[in-house]
Amino acid sequence: PVIKTSVSPTSGQELTFTCKSTNGYPKPNLYWINRTDNSLIDGTLQNNTVYLNERGLYDVVSTLRIPWEANVNV
């Protein structure tokens, strides 16, 4: 997986993380985790797309948008 994030966010801004992975098998399960306390991040903050490509493998794109917080380590 390749994960990218918004550049140098400051307090009060929204953080955006994008995860992309291609040519995987089997069909993936995707989880965003707050590594500070190992809790799952609310699924309503995510936009996940998983599809079968022309090679019969799975491509994934997931975008996570969360408010900036000092105690979140994704």
At 69, give phi and psi (nearest 5°).
-140, 140
pLDDT for the residue numbered 5: 86
Q: Is the pLDDT of residue 39 over 70?
A: yes
- Which region among 4-8, 12-16, 25-29, 56-60 has the lowest average model confidence (pLDDT)? 4-8
* Domains in the chain: boundaries: 2-68
Task: Kindly state the percentage of the chain with pLDDT values over 90.
Answer: 50
Other CB atoms within a 10 A radius of the CB of residue 13 amount to 11
Distance CA 35, CA 42 (A): 14
Give residue 73's pLDDT.
79
Mean pLDDT of the chain: 88
* Architecture (CATH level 2) of domain 2-68: Sandwich (2.60)
